Every structure is written in C-alpha cells, then in structure tokens.
Structure 1
C-alpha cells in the first residue's frame, strides 16, 4: 500500500490547501447504543483495511509526488461528538466540522460519532450517527463508500483495484503527448461532424455562485428511491430533476430571473482502468428550467447526461489523462500554487454541484442497529455556495444540501422547496409509468 500518489491524487491533495475538500460520509443507525460501546469494533474493523493504515508525506521541494507511508490506527481515530442532540443540532455539528480539515500528514481519516440523536429520519427511536471524515486524496466517493462499508461490518466488500502510475522515460512522454495531440484533432473533427456531442457551454453566474462566507449549513431530504425512478429514469436523473425545480423556484422566490441555461456540475466516473484513487471527471449538465412538464424535463436531463458521458468516453479524454501523468511533480505543484481562489470567472461549468453515489445494500449494522440511510456533502468552493449529494443505500435515497449563508441565507426554505420538488417528480414519474 505505501508508495507514491498518482498525479491526479497529488493534485487533489495539493489543492486541498486552496479549497478544503475533505469528504464527510454520514451513516445513520437505528440504535440507542453509545459511542463508547462501538469504539473497539470500529477500531478493529479499521485495522483490517489497508487503505486506512496510511498517511501522506510530502517529498522535499516537490522533487517527487507525495508518498503514502504506514500509519498506526489509534483510539483517537474514533471521536465521540456528544449525546442527546436533536437531528437538526447533529447536522449543525457536522457542518461545523467542515472548518476542521484533516492534517493528512498525521491521519487522512477519522470517525465522528453522535449518540442518542432524536428525530432522525426513518428511525424509530434515538439514533447513532456515524460520520466518516476522509481525505479526498485517499479516494473518490466510490472508494470512500467502499471503505465505509468495510468499517461498518461488510467484510465481503471488495475494494476497487488501483493500478497506479508506473515509471516512464522521455520516450514514453513523447509518445503519449503525440498520441494525445492526434486524438484531440480527431475529437475536434468528430465534434464538428456531430458524431460526438459538443462541449457543454459555460453558465452565467447566479446568486448561489458566490464565495462561501458566513454560516455553513447542511440539510438532508431522505426519501424512498422508488420516488425518483421510472423506466428510463435513474435515481441520479430523478434527483437532478428535483434539484432543478427547487433551485429555479428558490431563485424566483428571491426575485431573480432564472437563466434558461441553468445547469449543474455533475460528477461522473471515468471509464477504463482505474489508475488513480480519484477516477472521475466533472461535466456540465443542462437543467432545462424552461421545460414546465416535469416528465419532459427529466427526459431532457437524462439525454444531457448521456451526451456528457458520450463525450467523456471519447479516446481523446483518456489520452489527455495519460499525458498528464507524465507531468513532473514540481511543475504540477507549482501550477497549483499559482491558482487564485479569489478570482471570479465569467461563467461556470454548473450553477450547483450534483454528486451521486450508490452505496449498496442496507445490510450494515453498528451497535446492534441497522443503517437506515446515508448522506454526503460535496465541498463548497470559491464560486459554488450550494452543492448537492445524492446517496442511496437499500431503498433509501438522500438528497443532501450544503450551502453557505452568503449563497443561501435561509436553508430551511430551500430544504422545503426540495421536499416539494421531490413530491412533484415522484407524482410525475408515477403518472408516466401508468399504462395508457
């Protein structure tokens, strides 16, 4: 397991100094068990996971990529965050943790436990809420979810294979660069002919595309996955449709016009062999606020997602990634240090973020209680004051909202709009599925 970070993961690691990007994976268990009673179980499970027994160490002067070194798991990796809070108070405590990013040279992960949480969704009594905080450099949402399943007792869960970067000489650098250039020309030709969808356009900034400031808030809309699916409509599409409705209505509520080009920056897994722990790209997907018919809007969002995937799967994209692998660490780190997090662009890839990950069956247990739902909170960034997570486990799916006060001063209002939007989407998809 120890070794060099892949350039993609090193970029994520170095960028965290500019834009905090720790992941927070929430799992809610229907049990009144205490944090102390499950600590040893969690530590024992962690000691069986190689990915949790490493830390990240810099190479002096960035003369090489950061290295993963062995780390001993200690009791302090599991942190008791209090007892007897309400569900809203628990969410407020979680959002306050965003300001306490991990020192990855000491540890790239920890678990926060909140015991006896009242009124948690889908729970019959007090709940035990476990939040895995984990460095993005250690893995993307899929790898983090696999790690969480192992932590919470699924010992059959198999981690994705990461092949790594390998070593290359100047000849390979020239070969890859030449191949990337050739395929980029083919991509241009394929785009002009219509064989490949064009690159998504930039979107005009809205009031939620501001630098995060003030209080950070998180909210969770927990629903049945069946409410967001229909033939030809995935949970991701259904959830993104609900987000499009809620965001447009929120802007209208505040007296803003809704751009016809309103869009979302959606995370998509890359195809091909996984060489890095972070194996995804972001694509701009249209939200079609002008489509008043919900079913039509969902179908058009599904088509937009399909277009983005089609372009992302063009061989030129993989060739560009392979060429990027060849960049020396010192040059990549220098480029990241030049990044100005205060600069405001003329346009954005999406007006909000949608990150969707299926986290498997609900056969996870902690303290004798079964998992009832899971959630995740994509990080805010300099021009992204509102993000969404879509995470499913078993028959539950959670639409999570992270927002800053500067972008969404009334998060409870937005949460209510999102609940209503899910109701509308569920009703529209149900009617769509009826015969005749």
Structure 2
C-alpha cells in the first residue's frame, strides 16, 4: 500500500469511510434475468477484475505499510435484499452502512435488491445493485471505474500479480530499507519546504490565492450517531447546467439555497462546503484526491452571481491543488515511514470539537460516464452514492451523473439534520425555481 492508502485504511477504524455506489437498472425488453442468475454472474465477472480480487496483509510489528495480496471472490461478498419499494431500499441500505468492509478479508461486497416497482424515472420493475467498497481500495473516481467494469459488458483482461506474500520477508525488507527511506524522506522534506516558500511568494504576488480560513459551526456540525438517513433528488444534466454553468456548480448553488433556508443560517456567518478535487498528474495511489473548503456565498441573492462566485471558489481550489507545493507535499507524505503515519492516526481524537470547519457539509461530485451499463438484460437508468459522515459532519451530498441523468443524494444523521424529508423537498423545489 502507499502511505496515502494506508492512512485511509487505518483512519477507517475511527471514521468509517466505505463507499456505496448505487446503480438502478430497468428490466430490458423482456422480463430480464432472475436475481438468482444475476448474483452468480456478478461474482463471476468480479473474479476477472484485478481490483476486486485483493485484500490486505499486515507486516509484523507494523514495520511497513500493509501489502495488497490476492483474495479469491467469495459468495459472502453478495448480499440479497428484499425491499417494499424505493424508500425501503434506501432504508435498508442506510442500515447496511453500519457493517463496514474488513480489508483483511476482502475489499468489497455487492448488495442486490429484488425488483422494485417504484424506482424514480423507471417504467416498470427495476433492479438495484450497490457496490460497497473500502475507501482505501479506491477513491470515488477509481471506484466508479471499477463499477463500470463490473456492470459493463466489455471483455475483461486480468493482469494480476499472484506473487506469494511472506510476512517474514516483508518485515526483513522493511528493516533493510530504513536507511534508503530516511534519505528519501529528507530529500522530499527539503523539496516540500522549498516549494512551500515558493507558494508563499506566489500568494504574496497574487499569482495564487491563499487557502481560505474555515467557517463557523452550524446545526449539522455535531457528532452523528449510528443512524443513516438516505434520500435522493433526481434531475438532469441540462437543468443543473442552466443553473450554474456546470453540473457541479449548479448542484452547489441548489444546495446552498436549500440548506441555508432549511437551517435558517445567519447569512453574515456564511456557509461552506467541503469538496473533493482530483490531484494533478499520474495516479500514484488508489486515493488520488484532495479536500478543499469553498464558500457557498449565501449572502449573494442573485443566483447567477452566486453561481459565478462559487465557480471562482472551485477554480481557485483546483489551482491551489495543482501548485508545485501541493505536489511536493504529496511526495513528502509518500516518504513518511509507516510507523509515523500509524502513530499520527492513533493520536487522532474524534471527540475534539473544532473552532471552525473546512466545510459545514460535504459535496462529492463524480460523473460516471455513458449510460451503457447492463445487468441481467436491463440497462442502467441512474446512479447515485452516499459519502460517509465524519465526526463533526452529519450531512453529506453526492452529485452523480450517468448519461444525461443526475442524482443529488443526501446522507445524514438525525442528530444534526432535522426532518431530512423536508430538506429533500427544499432541494427539489430549488431545482425548479
């Protein structure tokens, strides 16, 4: 594992972070394949996907980062559910979020729902399939790519490395490599320091903006309990583009309007969202993104101006993420010894209440490609996902599109968000405002 992925794995013991990628399929021209046929077919296809045939193996005494090793696909990774309808499907999935993946055994599972009759935007019965995957195994973009291979129809080519993992050899390799890693860390740290100084000069010269300060806490910034309430608002690409110029900006505008109204936020205090931004360059880890906080400009009443200012916030965050200093920090992180990262994770106190928040809520936006996925003879109609909650964020949003369809999802805990149905209705109303 890379340092970044190992940190995500170790942190998941404190902050559960499994991803749940939901895909809804119609039943095709006929009745479609039975659920009894679909399940085994999915497992058979998963066995040919390298990313779905791995687990982790720990190095003795934590001398190094865990290793990815081969793991055969098991029938235990398929869970079948029977829901009374779409709302019940979301209720069941919310309850399943308490059962997180154990990466020492496997990295994913699929939840397969018997056909339901009232899936949004589907004429007739629909089959819902949900890929639950450990965040250390894949970030949002990579998980979407894996799901595309799982639910796609293209031939799969496996290139897996089946070398045997030896705990003893891994420990010995870690000990021997200490001097080399120490040199790499020093070199990376020096480079990161120089790049940091360059960024400070660039900020002073106005060539790049400084990272904004966090915002004050609001009602949703409290500790979530074990309950997860899931809701979805269905729209299309053109509607969001008409609002904000792009799907992501349009969704951020709608969320800013609905949430500030629902929470009755004092505009002078502002409202912020934590968004995910892909790192520049070649993917060097399974988690290849950064988080950034942006102002949602709830003080701006003109919707077009608000959209433009939110767009400027996103553009500035992307520019900061691409700065050489940010790249150098990632290199330095990759050189930090496993023991140091594990010590840092162990010292994290989830009960500490911060003075400010990078984002009051989370908004994760991923486009999942063309609407050409298939399952049991039916084609995909829409997709969605539910970003995990964290110790002081009881409300997250997903913005997921496939083809022309886009779904804005809500994942919340009732400890922070009162009346999730009313909030969903506000989001839907703002889409049509």
Please say whether Structure 1 and Structure 2 have the same fold, judged by a TM-score greater than 0.5. yes
User: How is 1:107-186 mapped onto 2 (pairs within 5 angstroms)?
Assistant: 107-155=106-154, 168-186=180-198
Q: CA RMSD in A?
A: 1.8
Q: In structure 1, the residue corresponding to 2:22 is in which secondary structure?
A: strand
Q: Please state if 1:30 is matched with 2:39.
A: no
Check the 8 A contact 1:356/1:391 in 2, yes or no: yes
**Partner of residue 421, structure 2:** 412
**Cα contact 1:243–1:418 (8 A) shared by 2:** yes
Match of 2:84 in 1: 85
Q: Partner residue of 1:19? A: 15
Pairwise CA distance, 1:273: 1.6
What TM-score comes out, normalization by structure 1 length? 0.91
CA distance in 2, matches of 1:157, 1:405: 43
3-state SS of paired residue (1:155):
coil
**Which deviates more, 277-286 or 291-300?**
291-300
Counterpart-to-counterpart distance in 1, 2:227 and 2:320: 38
The answer to whether residue 368 in structure 2 is matched with residue 359 in structure 1 is: yes
Is the Cα–Cα contact under 8 Å of residues 117 and 127 in structure 1 kept in the other structure?
A: yes
Which residue in 2 is equivalent to 1:236?
A: 248
Aligned residue in 2 for 1:208 = 220
Give the secondary structure class of the aligned counterpart of 1:136: coil
The corresponding residue for 1:261 is 270
- Which one of the candidate residues 2, 7, 11 is aligned to 1:6? 2
2 CA distance for matches of 1:411 and 1:371? 27
Question: What does residue 250 of structure 1 align with?
Answer: 262
**Deviation for aligned residue 1:236:** 0.6
Deviations 1:367-403 (A, max 9, x none): 1111110001000011000000000000100101000
Classify 1:271/1:156 alpha carbon distance in 2 versus 1 (closer, same or farther; 3 Å): farther
Check whether the contact 1:34–1:116 (CA below 8 A) recurs between aligned residues.
no
CA contact (8 A) 1:204 1:259 kept: no
- Alpha-carbon distance in 2 for matches of 1:125, 1:19: 39
**Contact 1:341 1:382 (C-alpha < 8 Å) held by counterparts:** yes
1:155-196 deviation per Cα after TM superposition (whole angstroms, max 9, x unaligned): 26999xxxxxx9854333222211110110111111122111
Alignment partners' CA distance in 1, 2:336 and 2:300: 44
Which structure 1 segments of 5+ residues have no match? 160-165, 425-436
For 1:64, the equivalent position in structure 2 comes to: 64
Give the match's secondary structure for 1:177. Answer: helix
Q: What is the CA deviation profile of residues 84-115 of structure 1, one whole-angstrom value per residue up to 9, with x for unaligned ones?
A: 52110000000001100011111110000111
Secondary structure at 1:406's aligned position in 2?
coil
> SS at the partner of 1:229?
helix
How far 1:34 sits from its partner (Å)?
Answer: 3.6
Name the CA distance, whole Å, in 1 between partners of 2:233 and 2:282: 34
CA contact (8 A) 1:26 1:374 kept: yes
Are residue 371 (structure 1) and residue 380 (structure 2) matched? yes
**Hey, what's the Cα distance between the residues in 2 that align with 1:44 and 1:399?**
31
Structure 2 CA distance for partners of 1:146 and 1:156, relative to 1, 3 Å? farther
Does the 8 Å CA contact 2:371/2:403 hold for their aligned counterparts? yes
CA 1:344–1:296: 2 relative to 1, 3 Å? same
**Structure 2 residue 93 is matched with structure 1 residue 94:** yes
Q: 1:331 to 1:49 in 2, by over 3 A?
A: same
On the 8 A contact 2:244/2:251 being kept in 1, the answer is no
- Are the aligned partners of 1:200 and 1:283 in contact in 2 as well (CA < 8 Å)? no
Pairwise CA distance, 1:81: 1.3
Cα separation, 1, equivalents of 2:356 and 2:156: 41
| Aligned pairs for 1:295-334 within 5 A | 295-334=304-343
Partner of 2:205: 193
**Alignment match, 2:230:** 218
Check whether the contact 2:2–2:285 (CA below 8 A) recurs between aligned residues. Answer: yes
Gaps of 5+ in 2: 159-173
Q: What's 2:163 paired with? A: none
Q: Is the 8 A contact 1:260 1:289 kept in 2?
A: no
Q: Distance in 2 between matches of 1:389 and 1:90?
A: 17
* C-alpha distance in 1 between matches for 2:413 and 2:338: 34
Structure 1 residue 301 displacement after superposition: 0.6
Q: Please state how far the C-alpha of 1:40 moved relative to its aligned partner.
A: 2.1
SS of 1:379's equivalent?
A: coil
Secondary structure in 2 matching 1:318: helix
User: SS of the counterpart of 1:138?
Assistant: coil
**1:331-359 per-position Cα deviation (integer Å, ceiling 9, x unaligned):** 11011001001111000101100000000
Number of paired residues? 410
Secondary structure of 1:194's counterpart equals coil
